[in-house]
């Protein structure tokens, strides 16, 4: 029979080991600037890492294209045992046997091939370099998009955190009003229905707080996913919805912002690079009609046996002039030119979209600024309304229905204030993204 001491020891061991099996990730204190900076750090989100790999792939294709201009060296060796029919080779005069052999043939040599001049291959190298430029620009566009996503996720988390604090303040006020209603009832200056109304309001405030806390937890999960962190990582937000949050290197003037956007937007740069790569690819296909000059050489040993093999060599200069390939080249050229034209249309449309993005972000920013002024004044008046209604209720000149109405007005005013500050932050993030400087948000 197991002793009591043994059972206690076993339970203690299990209790000590269980946290090790389900250890939580370390908590992360994160400011808005730190969250955006992680996009370009060694802890970058997966999307940014994948974009870097695509750039590496494009660089590898440059090496593949350049290989056609570099020498090719190979080693070859063979042994064969053969018989020949001389008549099959045209030797049918008297004295020649009907069958020669069997005999051995050994051969080993070094072979060299070198392109001396190939305009098409030179163009293909240029096209591959343009694709590297496009891939790098696409990587920068991915960084910008990831920075925007992280910034928006942080903004939503700070908004959810502000809502939780507002709901906590609502619950605290509701609890105070319940105490006041009970005191008024005990003093005989108010009816019991006032207590009931206050308690109903307290219950509603508690329900709103639970919902707000759930939304904050969900916002933290979304932020962790945007950062590429484990969703179980506890994240402590160190910034709040202030007017200074979300600033970036953005010109104050509209025309200057549009000019910077056209010069700096990586998605536009990527489209221009893709168009250049398509045009260079078309030139490479056209250059396939030009003659190509190459050198082929080999050196080795040849004989019937290894012991009697002698040195042999070969050297040749080859000129190739393509004449007709069943119009396959013309079909490829038409396809490549169509790709270049498509890219030109997309680039033109993207320039217009850049200006539209800047104008929309500036419009949203002005609107959010005006909403902040209105919501700030509304919040101040709602707080005064609650104070005055509370004083009237305490004085016994009014029921707490006025207090509850004022409390609801304060709840809506707090929501409007949070929404206006959140809208202003989102507008600043959108403006930074529209000019291609989302990675500088802080």
Express each pLDDT in 211-235 by its tens digit.
999 999 999 999 999 998 888 888 9
Q: Provide the phi-psi class of 232: left if phi over 0, else alpha when psi is between -120 and 50, else beta.
A: alpha
Assigned CATH class of 24-70+118-290+327-440: mainly alpha
> How many beta carbons lie within 10 A of that of residue 301, not counting itself?
15
Distance CA 65, CA 290 (A): 18
Tell me the backbone φ, ψ of residue 221, rounded to 5 degrees. Answer: -65, -45
Helix, strand, or coil here: 111? strand
Helix, strand, or coil here: 57? helix
Helix, strand, or coil here: 73? strand
Tell me if the bond preceding 102 is cis, omega within 30° of 0. Answer: yes
Give the model's pLDDT for residue 23.
61
Say how far residue 420 (Cα) sits from the centre of its chain: 28
What six digits make up the tokens of 242?
A: 């202030």
Tell me if the bond preceding 432 is cis, omega within 30° of 0. Answer: no
Distance CA 94, CA 345 (A): 78
Please count the helices (runs of H) and the strands (runs of E) in the chain.
Answer: 9, 6
What six digits make up the tokens of 236?
A: 């402590």
Give the model's pLDDT for residue 100.
85
What six digits make up the tokens of 390?
A: 């509370």
Residues of the chain with pLDDT under 70: 1-24
What six digits make up the tokens of 358?
A: 């800047």
What six digits make up the tokens of 215?
A: 């939304």
Give the model's pLDDT for residue 297.
95
Residue with tokens 């680039």: 347
Distance CA 268, CA 242 (A): 32
> pLDDT digits over 86-118, tens only?
888 788 888 788 888 898 899 999 999 999 999
Judge whether 297 and 111 are in contact, CB under 8 Å.
yes
Its pTM stands at: 0.81
Tell me the backbone φ, ψ of residue 95, rounded to 5 degrees. Answer: 95, -15
Nearest CA to 33 out of 430, 429, 434, 436 is that of 429
């Amino acid at each position: 029979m197991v002793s009591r001491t043994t059972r206690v020891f076993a339970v203690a061991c299990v209790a000590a080991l269980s946290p090790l099996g389900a250890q939580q990730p370390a908590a992360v204190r994160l400011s808005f600037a730190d969250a955006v900076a992680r996009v370009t750090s060694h802890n970058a989100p997966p999307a940014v890492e994948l974009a870097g790999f695509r750039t590496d792939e494009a660089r590898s294709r440059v090496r593949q294209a350049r290989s056609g201009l570099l020498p090719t060296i190979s080693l070859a060796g063979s042994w064969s045992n053969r018989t020949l029919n001389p008549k099959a080779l045209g030797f049918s005069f008297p004295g020649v046997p009907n069958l020669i052999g069997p005999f051995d043939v050994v051969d080993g040599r070094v072979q060299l091939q070198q392109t001396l001049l190939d305009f098409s291959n030179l163009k293909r190298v240029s096209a591959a370099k343009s694709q590297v430029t496009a891939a790098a620009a696409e990587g920068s566009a991915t960084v910008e998009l990831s920075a925007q996503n992280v910034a928006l996720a942080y903004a939503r988390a700070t908004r959810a955190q502000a809502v939780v604090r507002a709901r906590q303040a609502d619950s605290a006020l509701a609890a105070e009003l319940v105490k006041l209603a009970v005191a008024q009832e005990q003093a005989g200056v108010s009816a019991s229905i006032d207590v009931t109304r206050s308690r109903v309001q307290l219950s509603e405030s508690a329900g709103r707080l639970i919902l707000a806390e759930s939304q904050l937890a969900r916002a933290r999960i979304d932020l962790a996913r945007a950062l590429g962190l484990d969703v179980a990582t506890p994240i402590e937000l160190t910034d709040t919805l202030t007017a200074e949050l979300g600033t970036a290197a953005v010109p104050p003037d509209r025309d200057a912002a549009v000019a910077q956007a056209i010069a700096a937007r990586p998605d536009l740069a990527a489209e221009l690079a893709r168009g250049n790569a398509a045009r260079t690819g078309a030139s490479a296909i056209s250059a396939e009609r030009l003659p190509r000059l190459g050198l082929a050489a080999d050196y080795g040993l040849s004989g019937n046996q290894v012991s009697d093999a002698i040195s042999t060599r070969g050297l040749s200069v080859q000129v190739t002039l393509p004449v007709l390939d069943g119009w396959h080249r013309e079909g490829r050229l038409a396809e490549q030119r169509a790709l270049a034209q498509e890219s030109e249309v997309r680039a033109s449309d993207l320039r217009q979209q850049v200006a539209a993005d800047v104008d929309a972000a500036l419009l949203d920013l002005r609107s959010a600024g005006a909403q902040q002024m209105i919501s700030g004044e509304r919040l101040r008046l709602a707080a005064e309304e609650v104070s005055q209604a509370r004083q009237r209720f305490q004085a016994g000149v009014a029921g707490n229905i006025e207090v509850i109405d004022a409390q609801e007005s304060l709840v809506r005013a707090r929501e409007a204030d949070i929404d206006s500050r959140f809208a202003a932050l989102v507008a600043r993030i959108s403006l930074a993204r529209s000019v291609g400087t989302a990675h500088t948000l802080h």
